[in-house]
Amino acid sequence: MSVTIFDQPDVQAFLREISGLDKPDGSPRAKQIIHRLMSDLFKAIDELDITPDEYWAGIAWVNELGIAGQAGLISPGLGLDHFLDLRMDAQDAALGIDNKTPRTIEGPLYVAGAPVVQGHARLDDGRDTDGQLLLMHGTVFNDAGQPVPGAQVEVWHCDTRGFYSHFDPTGVQAPFNMRRTIIADQQGRYSFRSILPNGYGVPPGSPTEKLLFALGRHGQRPAHIHFFISADGQRKLTTQINIAGDPLVNDDFAHATRDGLVPEVVEHGDAASIAAAGLEGPFAEIVFDFHLTPLVQGEDNQICERPRAAA
Ligand code: MBD
Ligand code: FE
């Protein structure tokens, strides 16, 4: 039989007690957030009549998720990362800030400490021979449309198997393979050669995949390349591009695809283009400019200092 007890005064007092609202110690903000989240959870258990078996299955899943280190992976899967982006977009709109290059989610696989290279970098270690050669380049601009000399272009992507260096279960990639920090030249230009990545899939059999499957969803991302773009006086931009033509471009489990972030991929097979690019053979070219926005009252009002891996 279904019962609802949420509104009872003793349950409401209990919520205040478990949130420490009756205690002087601790963090007022932590109390506020936990009181709200626990209230919403109690209410959901009550209204959906969540059974003890359902509840304890959820707890076992949370433990499994933590052991696998996948809280940062289910987070984009459940749309929270994209929701935070939408909130930052709305804050920008309220401040009259126009992000000519859209932001999109960072994801859980950035590693700090990549080699720093001036102007042009090679990202791949040459071991993944299945990928098509890629030449990507462009200019970093400020909101006045001027190039930003010395802008920092941090770039990272996975290999043709969908594995990122430092998170590769097969361990074959060199440290910082397909990860670099490129310093733009005096004209604000960056460029790199690499190979076209393939899409990423969440680990098979993982708790993340189990939940997505329970929702009738999949855990695949289209091929994509991540960026942090930063420069003095500018807000740091977190974004990605998708590789046009990937069938999952508009079916991303992490909900990162946005208009303006799917540049054209131009194939070059002629000897003159290959020689001009200084490459060994046919290649794909992506031209993509990044547009930054200035600090707000001298500050990056949206800087995110989340815990990140470093090597
Ligand atoms: C990725 O490569 C990624 O970019 C995101 C957002 C989630 C999982 C893997
Ligand atoms: Fe990624």
CA 108 – ligand 1 centroid, Å: 6
CB-side neighbour CA atoms (13 Å) of 64: 14
Q: Which of 78, 109, 253 to mutate to test the pocket of ligand 1 (most atoms within 8 A of CB)?
A: 109
**Summary mean pLDDT of the chain:** 98
Cβ of 65 less than 6 Å from ligand 1: no
Cβ of 109 less than 6 Å from ligand 1: yes
**Shortest CA distance to 47 belongs to which of 10, 103, 114, 2?**
2
* Ligand nearest, relative to CA of residue 105: 1
Query: For 194-227, what is each residue's pLDDT tens digit?
Result: 999 999 999 999 999 999 999 999 999 999 999 9
Nearest CA to ligand 1 atom 7: 107
DSSP SS3 for 278: coil
2 — pLDDT class (breaks 50, 70, 90): confident
- In the chain, which segments carry CATH 2.60.130.10? 79-310
CA–CA distance, 288 with 270 (Å, rounded to integer) = 22
- Residue 180 CA: distances (Å) to CA of 11, 34, 59, 67: 53, 39, 39, 29
Structure pTM? 0.97
Cβ of 73 less than 6 Å from ligand 1: yes
Q: Please give the torsion angle defined by the CA atoms of residues 241, 245, 247 and 249, in that order, rounded to the nearest 10 degrees.
A: 20
Cβ of 254 less than 6 Å from ligand 1: yes
Query: For 131-153, what is each residue's pLDDT tens digit?
Result: 999 999 999 999 999 999 999 99
Nearest CA to ligand 1 atom 1: 107
Query: For 103-142, what is each residue's pLDDT tens digit?
Result: 999 999 999 999 999 999 999 999 999 999 999 999 999 9
Of ligand 1's atoms, which has the minimum distance to the CA of residue 224?
4
Would you state the CATH architecture of domain 79-310? Sandwich (2.60)
What share of the chain in percent tops pLDDT 90? 99
Both structure tokens of 74: 């289910």
CA 256 – ligand 2 centroid, Å: 10
Cβ of 200 less than 6 Å from ligand 1: yes
Nearest CA to ligand 1 atom 6: 107
Both structure tokens of 39: 């209230």
Taking the alpha carbons at both ends of the chain, their separation in whole angstroms is 55
Between helix 28-47 and helix 9-18 the angle, nearest 10°, is 140
Judge whether residue 1 has pLDDT over 80: no
Cβ of 221 less than 6 Å from ligand 1: yes
CA 87 – ligand 2 centroid, Å: 21
Q: What is the pLDDT of residue 243?
A: 98
Of ligand 1's atoms, which has the minimum distance to the CA of residue 77?
7
**Shortest CA distance to 135 belongs to which of 245, 239, 290, 288?**
288
CA 44 from chain centre, in angstroms, equals 29
Q: Do 76 and 105 contact (CB within 8 A), yes or no?
A: yes
Residues within 5 A (CB) of ion ligand 2: 107
Q: Do 230 and 151 contact (CB within 8 A), yes or no?
A: yes
Q: Which of 200, 209, 308 to mutate to test the pocket of ligand 1 (most atoms within 8 A of CB)?
A: 200
